[in-house]
Amino acid sequence: MGFCSTAQGNICNWMHRYIDQRKYAGSALLICQNGQEVFFHACGHRSIENNLRFQRDSLVRIYSMTKPVTSVALMMLVEQGLFHLDAPLSDFLPEFASMQALIPGATRIDQTEDAPSPSLHQLLTHTSGLSYPFNLGVLPMAMDELDLIFSPQQGPLADRVKLLAQLPLAFQPGARWEYAVGIDVIGHVIEVVTGKSLDVFLAEHIFQPLEMTETAFSVPSGAGDRFASLYTPLEGNAMALGAAKTGSETLRLFDSHGKSPFEAATTFSGGGGLVSTIDDYSKFAEMLRNKGTGKGARLLGQKTVEFMFYNHLPGDIASMGPQSFAEQPMDGTGFGIGGAVVLNPARARCPGSVGDFGWGGMASTYFWIDPVNHLSTVFFTQLSPSSSYPSRAELKALVHSALVD
């Protein structure tokens, strides 16, 4: 299966149309097949206010595309035999030993019942009972009041996690699927097990071996003018999905070089804190596509990556009663370790291959690996929230239309 040069024009036209319609300020797309680059295009601006073009070396906030990176880090420790995925969180963080969960239909944060400590596996697969402040419900409201979003300048990860442990779970572990801060907690588990801060562990064991020289929790020194501005079509907080309203300006500046918390991070959010370039993240995606190997280094065993790509839910996400925001379709889509897995493209209502694995970020970034057609695709832009436009489904359709015998 090859990549049709004629159809590439449709992809470029689509990217420029988003710019012309002021949906995105700028974007970049990198596609590799069988380990070789087959498409790259960048257009628009990384900073409208400073008239700076979106380029290949532009740095962006990848938000939840951090989750697969942290998940790989945990699986590296699993491969060392240091613990197993069914281990309760309380084995590592004793503050989670005596847990409570909201009773079904609870309307107050004190309406709880006893609950077991979530397992590492439940944290990884968003079935732990944790949540996000931007979801709907009693627990998200309590998290919002405490600003438990794990943003870059909230201090040590350990302090954030201890505060989170004081709240009940939204439901009994394993009962539902709800997009959550569980992988932020996993980040702190990695710190406890290794004795290293998460930024150091990721740098030493993932970024350096893969030569990802511009991926970190803070914008690299001297690279600030390459750091893309973040925009939103919302009037209020770009992350407050339940409260913010669409404004008249589709590209309202929300965060930019010179005043961004991502330029001096103090909280190493394993669920959403990294910044990266498209080439750096493509190296990570290619490592997964190659089942654990990249840049001459083996990070994970082949069978471990295959295990990560399985659906770890009893059915698709939709069958588990989600009540939360999600980065991907829920019908016909399962969840593996660190990302979504396509079970049925027809049910997901998006062209693709069974087994496609990937995830996106709040600023509308997206990546996926197609193991059938040997593709890795990385799309970067900077607009929050990612639910603003159906760009991911449109992009997948465009890429699959370019595949020919």
Residue 400 lies in a domain: no
Give the CATH number, domain containing residue 382: 3.40.710.10
Cβ count within 10 A of residue 86: 9
Q: What is the pLDDT of residues 113-162, one digit of tens each?
A: 999 999 999 999 999 999 999 999 999 999 999 999 999 999 999 999 99
Give the integer Cα–Cα distance in Å for 33 and 317. 29
Residue 238 lies in a domain: yes
Number of domains in the chain: 1
3-state SS, residue 346: helix
Residue 403 lies in a domain: no
Q: For residue 266, which amino acid is it?
A: T
Residue 261 lies in a domain: yes
Cβ count within 10 A of residue 101: 21
Between helix 182-194 and helix 66-79 the angle, nearest 10°, is: 40
pTM (predicted TM-score): 0.96
Residue 64 lies in a domain: yes
* pLDDT mean over 19-39: 97
| Residues spanned by the domain of 83 | 49-370+378-389
Q: What is the mean pLDDT of the chain?
A: 94
Give the integer Cα–Cα distance in Å for 70 and 172. 24
Residue 341 lies in a domain: yes
Residue 24 lies in a domain: no
Q: What is the pLDDT of residues 232-282, one digit of tens each?
A: 998 877 775 544 456 678 999 999 999 999 999 999 999 999 999 999 999
Angstrom CA distances, 279 to 78, 115, 272, 286, 297, stand at 28, 43, 19, 10, 17
Residue 65 lies in a domain: yes
